[in-house]
Structure 1
Amino acid sequence: MDETPSYPPIEPTDFDLIVVGTGLPQSVIAAAASSAGKSVLHLDSNSFYGSHFSSLNLDEFSSFLTSQSAVSSSHPNPPSSVAADAADYVALDLKTRPMYSDVEITSHSSDPLEHSRKFNLDVSGPRVLFCADAAVDLMLKSGASQYLEFKSIDASFVCDADGRFSTVPDSRAAIFKDRSLSLTEKNQLMRFFKLIQGHLASSDEAENDSNARISEDDLESPFVEFLNKMRLPPKIKSIILYAIAMADYDQDNIEVCKDVLNTKIGIDRLALYQSSVGRFPNALGALIYPIYGQGELTQAFCRRAAVKGCIYVLRMPVIALLMEKESRHCKGVRLASGQDIFSQKLLVDPSFVVPVLVAPSQPDCMPESSQVINLVDAKQKVARGICIMKSSLNPDVSNFVFVYPPRCLYPEQVMAIRAVQIGSNLGVCPSGMFVLYLSTLCNDATQGKELLQAAIKSLFTLPVSGNPENSSSVHSENMEEVKPTLLWSALYTQELVMGSFESISSTSMPDGNLNYNVLLDATVKLFHQMYPQEEFFPETTSPENFEDDDGLSLES
């Protein structure tokens, strides 16, 4: 039975740009193109905004992962509602590929399920924003910030195999307050930060102080070698590498490290972290999180695009691409309603398998001659996990980030594991519950799940006798600490897909980073490839746009 809603025809039928899927990159480009005066049609087969960047309730989340991990299939192709130009183009079925695999959802308690609609779970978690990063600047410049509210992340930690947290000393005040550091370690860390600040200050000055600058040879060397040269002890070196500079791979093991962080990039990341501390008066540290979840970012840019004239249609699958027979260029899409919509530029969700019409050897060559572009990067994936519990992993704070550095859980752990815990005061779960997001890069699902399960084992205790309702936590084996009881969990492996600029452009899947900077850099680059003569969100004196940091709404 066809469940596609009955829609009236879309008018007009010609647009400058058609965007399929409301993920964050698509929504940013739709808003930027609309701001540049382009006519934009934005379509999504889902009933909600955000796609792979959405925040969903428990039922929606489970359904979305299940549907996106199913075997690809093409939609039935109804007769076209446009016949006049049918001789000039052909319709090629548009298929999807699974973006998630090894989905494992486990419920140990009925409590989360009974409050399903009160959850807003991030499909792309864990995610936070640095107060001084590119995403915040983009929201302020575009005006999307007026549709968002944020709260501060309370703390940042490094976690060990026993689930114990150590504070990340990310400022001068934090270093002095940290009781886990010895006086010698505090002095070493202070001297290192002073060196970094002196280098950054000399880089900004018109007349560079060569004595304050780090040499070019050191800047191009691996960051871990530079830290060893500074004679920093292993504990501090690990904090700098994995909790502040956000390295993903074991930097001490070149044989397994797929991404060696050089000193220049490491220093840039330290600068971002430190410049984020204190940027907003109501932010306690360097990081913030949107109220109601990361999916609010996508909706903010969609609202911004709608204000500029972008037309939105949800629950409307695109079933085929319309390709010109002679030029083999895309000229539009066919909707599930049967209507053909035309545009010279098309931007699609990364889950689509894009067909390409091969040059005809015969004048009557038909769509069977088509090929597909597969953009999946099979060499790397992201393993993600979500856990729900009734008590905080750290009784002193509700909203915080933490990292498991490589080799801290077991010797073969070559990737860092990142995590964010969010409480009900951010509107992501019912009162009295907490949501934990985990992620790690991995080569395959087996490796990814092994990493996440090791982290979960260090943090939680499974319900006793299948009856978690009697207590929110139970004692760990050594009886020295109390670990929260796991009520509900989801583990899944996500494909990594990079954006592509062709006659049909495609955006990227969520990456393995904690923030959006790399993803947004790729999105800006894609926009300029699509519209090389247009400015990305031109400056305006409109009161809708905010001109300073006060334009970002932060709740204390």
Structure 2
Amino acid sequence: MTESASYPPIDPTTFDLILVGTGLPESVIAAAASAAGKTVLHLDPNSFYGSHFSSLPLDELTSFLTSHSTTSTSSSHPHLPPSTAIDGEDYISVDLETRPVYSDLDISSHSSEPLEHSRKFNLDPAGPRVLFCADSAIDLMLKSGTSQYIEFKGVDASLVCDSDGKLSTVPDSRAAIFKDRTLGLTEKNQLMRFFKLVQEHLASDGDERGDNARISEEDLQSPFVEFLKKMRLPPKIKSIILYAIAMADYDQDDVEVCKDVLKTKDGIDRLALYQSSVSRFSNAPGALIYPMYGQGELPQGFCRRAAVKGCLYVLRMPVTALLMEKSSGHYKGVRLASGQDLFSRQLVLDPSFVVSLPLASSSPDFLQEISLDFRLKSAQGKVARGICIARSSLKPDVSNLLVVYPPRSLYPEQATSIRVLQIGSNLAVCPSGMFVLYLSALCDDADQGKKLLHAAMNALFTPDVSGNPENSSSVQCENTEEVKSTLLWSALYMQELNMASFESISFTPMPDGNLNYNGVLDATMKLFKKMYPDEEYFPETTSPENSEDDEGISLES
């Protein structure tokens, strides 16, 4: 049997929209377009849903990261015509290749046990990632009806590392402040007054009689760190608000050199989101929740919703070339690995795809322009990611928790926050008795990224895993009160951050460096609106399954 014969033909051959890759952004667009009545074909070369937003067994995760660390070109398929070959009277084909989106992959195994239970893991390449109970991702799932396919569990604790290297619970509510034993009475009063000011400001928003309770417009446009100083909050409280609640990425203390200065208005909005998320759901007393079986359940949920609305799904189906009109260069369709040509008005591609380069000098002018366009696209930075499998929890009797290491909390040159999400077996992501920890930090290059990850791992695990003994004393958290877990397995890697689009060919974003999905979902909504400006983004429905109340989210107790 030939390779092309192993692929079944797809019928029909013309669609309003073709999407390649079943990552979260592509899956949301597929569901939204299907809900708007569009004919949609959703393809994926993988045998699983989720792409870069998937949850994979241990061995498949290793293969996935490795395969996306190298360039793959469709020219390796001998049955395909060469790039720009004339295929008909009005269009030509342009080969696709996948560019490497991961680099500096470093996998270490300290025990055979995780490998022996590989299929019992559901590991997220884009971790750490959670949902705030009150954020727009929850609203989107409720509105679209996707929430009926996904179950969640609360993240039990949020911890923050102080300047002494000690972890303490984030005082994110009135009750948490009263219970906190690491804050003095003065600090508790200061934090309570600040939270009250924020609540009064939000309550008075739009109320002309509430001017005295509102934060001035001048303060709202100022750096959040300056406003916190103006409120005379001590450094410890400032750090908690900036990095453990508002989730600022970069060191905010020197606004002249900070790459992303958080304005007071944005800081207040993030604080409001955090506080409104606390105890929104009775089974999740904290601000954060995580999907059972891993974050890969989210794109699968949207894919199921799209399928209900008529979207056609085909996995294990590589797309090897684009079809372009000879005269104008406008997108016309795609060529599959089977050799079949399919056509659509719109195309959305996984961000790992690019037009095969270089193109022949004899190529039409429009292809030379596309070639130049893709050469000019550059990464918008990197995020260092780590996945660790450990023997015990960082906090006794707590399975699921978030740890934030603010800038300079681990070593003086630490310029960005490091976030660590620990998930246990009660979320069905690992065998009983083991824990999965996801680490991430924004960085400029691999050297900086690896140093950030190693610093956190030195603080979390024993023995020293940095491989750099001369630095171990400067980054080690001297914290005898917290448990140091035994590291069994780890994967460290750099991930590119970028997004590109070209006319009727659109590229979805890679997973960003944020803890929640809002940045990715905002970009996804903008892409849908650009493609279909006259269509409603998930029309309202009166179906009971889409009821927009808290009962629409299924939470495991």
- Residue 52 of structure 1 aligns with an amino acid whose one-letter code is H
* 1:143 paired residue among 142, 145, 150: 145
Measured after TM superposition, the shift of residue 208 of structure 1 is: 4.0
Deviation larger for 47-56 or 496-505: 496-505
- Give the whole-Å Cα distance in 2 for the aligned partners of 1:161 and 1:391: 25
The residue aligned with 1:93 is: 95
Measured after TM superposition, the shift of residue 254 of structure 1 is: 2.5
Q: 1:165-222 deviations in whole A, cap 9, x for unaligned?
A: 11100000000000111000000000000000000000054x3411000000000000
The residue aligned with 2:472 is: none
User: Is 1:296 aligned with 2:297?
Assistant: yes
Measured after TM superposition, the shift of residue 549 of structure 1 is: 1.7
Measured after TM superposition, the shift of residue 394 of structure 1 is: 1.1
* 1:120 paired residue among 98, 119, 122: 122
Measured after TM superposition, the shift of residue 51 of structure 1 is: 0.5
How do residues 30-429 of structure 1 correspond to structure 2 at under 5 angstroms?
A: 30-75=30-75, 76=77, 78=79, 86-160=88-162, 164-205=166-207, 207-354=208-355, 371=371, 373-374=374-375, 377-429=378-430
Paired residues of 2:120 and 2:430 also in contact (CA < 8 A) = yes
The residue aligned with 1:471 is: none
The residue aligned with 1:508 is: 509
Paired residues of 1:162 and 1:458 also in contact (CA < 8 A) = no
Measured after TM superposition, the shift of residue 499 of structure 1 is: 4.6
- Give the whole-Å Cα distance in 1 for the aligned partners of 2:500 and 2:135: 21
- Give the whole-Å Cα distance in 1 for the aligned partners of 2:80 and 2:436: 47
User: Is 1:21 aligned with 2:57?
Assistant: no
- Give the whole-Å Cα distance in 1 for the aligned partners of 2:500 and 2:368: 26
Q: 1:5-50 deviations in whole A, cap 9, x for unaligned?
A: 8122100000000000011000000000000000000001011000
- Give the whole-Å Cα distance in 1 for the aligned partners of 2:366 and 2:513: 41
The residue aligned with 1:467 is: none
Paired residues of 1:254 and 1:260 also in contact (CA < 8 A) = yes
- Give the whole-Å Cα distance in 2 for the aligned partners of 1:429 and 1:340: 42
Measured after TM superposition, the shift of residue 354 of structure 1 is: 3.3
SS at match of 1:280: coil
- Residue 446 of structure 1 aligns with an amino acid whose one-letter code is D
Distance 1:367 1:240, change over 3 A: closer
SS at match of 2:451: helix
- Give the whole-Å Cα distance in 1 for the aligned partners of 2:187 and 2:162: 19
Distance 1:4 1:543, change over 3 A: farther
Measured after TM superposition, the shift of residue 256 of structure 1 is: 3.4
SS at match of 1:65: helix
- Give the whole-Å Cα distance in 1 for the aligned partners of 2:241 and 2:366: 58
Measured after TM superposition, the shift of residue 406 of structure 1 is: 0.3
- Give the whole-Å Cα distance in 2 for the aligned partners of 1:29 and 1:440: 28
- Residue 54 of structure 2 aligns with an amino acid whose one-letter code is S
- Give the whole-Å Cα distance in 1 for the aligned partners of 2:2 and 2:110: 36
- Give the whole-Å Cα distance in 1 for the aligned partners of 2:194 and 2:120: 45
Unpaired stretches in structure 1, ≥5 consecutive residues: 465-475
Distance 1:236 1:92, change over 3 A: same
- Give the whole-Å Cα distance in 1 for the aligned partners of 2:289 and 2:481: 32
Identity between Structure 1 and Structure 2 (%): 74
Distance 1:240 1:388, change over 3 A: same
Measured after TM superposition, the shift of residue 545 of structure 1 is: 1.9
- Residue 118 of structure 1 aligns with an amino acid whose one-letter code is K
- Residue 166 of structure 2 aligns with an amino acid whose one-letter code is R
Distance 1:505 1:479, change over 3 A: closer
- Give the whole-Å Cα distance in 1 for the aligned partners of 2:165 and 2:389: 16
Paired residues of 1:323 and 1:357 also in contact (CA < 8 A) = no
TM-score (norm 2): 0.92
Paired residues of 2:162 and 2:236 also in contact (CA < 8 A) = no
- Give the whole-Å Cα distance in 2 for the aligned partners of 1:185 and 1:172: 13
- Give the whole-Å Cα distance in 2 for the aligned partners of 1:64 and 1:5: 26
- Give the whole-Å Cα distance in 1 for the aligned partners of 2:90 and 2:58: 46
SS at match of 1:418: strand
- Residue 50 of structure 2 aligns with an amino acid whose one-letter code is G
- Residue 71 of structure 1 aligns with an amino acid whose one-letter code is T
- Residue 100 of structure 1 aligns with an amino acid whose one-letter code is Y
Paired residues of 1:417 and 1:440 also in contact (CA < 8 A) = yes
- Residue 39 of structure 1 aligns with an amino acid whose one-letter code is T
Measured after TM superposition, the shift of residue 4 of structure 1 is: 7.1
The residue aligned with 1:495 is: 496
Measured after TM superposition, the shift of residue 548 of structure 1 is: 1.6
Q: 1:355-396 deviations in whole A, cap 9, x for unaligned?
A: 6999x999x889688625257543510000011111001113
Distance 1:106 1:159, change over 3 A: same
Paired residues of 2:329 and 2:366 also in contact (CA < 8 A) = no
Distance 1:152 1:375, change over 3 A: farther
SS at match of 1:497: coil
How do residues 545-556 of structure 1 correspond to structure 2 at under 5 angstroms?
A: 545-556=546-557
- Give the whole-Å Cα distance in 1 for the aligned partners of 2:403 and 2:189: 24
Distance 1:370 1:511, change over 3 A: closer
Paired residues of 2:278 and 2:286 also in contact (CA < 8 A) = yes
Q: 1:290-339 deviations in whole A, cap 9, x for unaligned?
A: 00000100100000000001011111100000000112111100000000
TM-score (norm 1): 0.92
- Residue 259 of structure 1 aligns with an amino acid whose one-letter code is D
SS at match of 2:195: helix
The residue aligned with 1:472 is: none
Deviation larger for 315-324 or 155-164: 155-164
Unpaired stretches in structure 2, ≥5 consecutive residues: 466-476
- Give the whole-Å Cα distance in 2 for the aligned partners of 1:31 and 1:479: 49
Q: 1:46-92 deviations in whole A, cap 9, x for unaligned?
A: 11000000000100000000000013433426358xx9971110000
Distance 1:498 1:368, change over 3 A: closer
SS at match of 1:256: coil
SS at match of 1:30: helix
- Give the whole-Å Cα distance in 2 for the aligned partners of 1:246 and 1:269: 8
- Residue 329 of structure 1 aligns with an amino acid whose one-letter code is H
Paired residues of 1:355 and 1:373 also in contact (CA < 8 A) = no
- Residue 307 of structure 2 aligns with an amino acid whose one-letter code is A
Paired residues of 1:161 and 1:455 also in contact (CA < 8 A) = no
SS at match of 1:228: helix
- Residue 148 of structure 1 aligns with an amino acid whose one-letter code is I
- Residue 103 of structure 1 aligns with an amino acid whose one-letter code is L
The residue aligned with 2:471 is: none
Measured after TM superposition, the shift of residue 402 of structure 1 is: 1.3
Paired residues of 2:400 and 2:423 also in contact (CA < 8 A) = yes
Measured after TM superposition, the shift of residue 481 of structure 1 is: 6.1
- Residue 134 of structure 2 aligns with an amino acid whose one-letter code is A
How do residues 401-480 of structure 1 correspond to structure 2 at under 5 angstroms?
A: 401-462=402-463
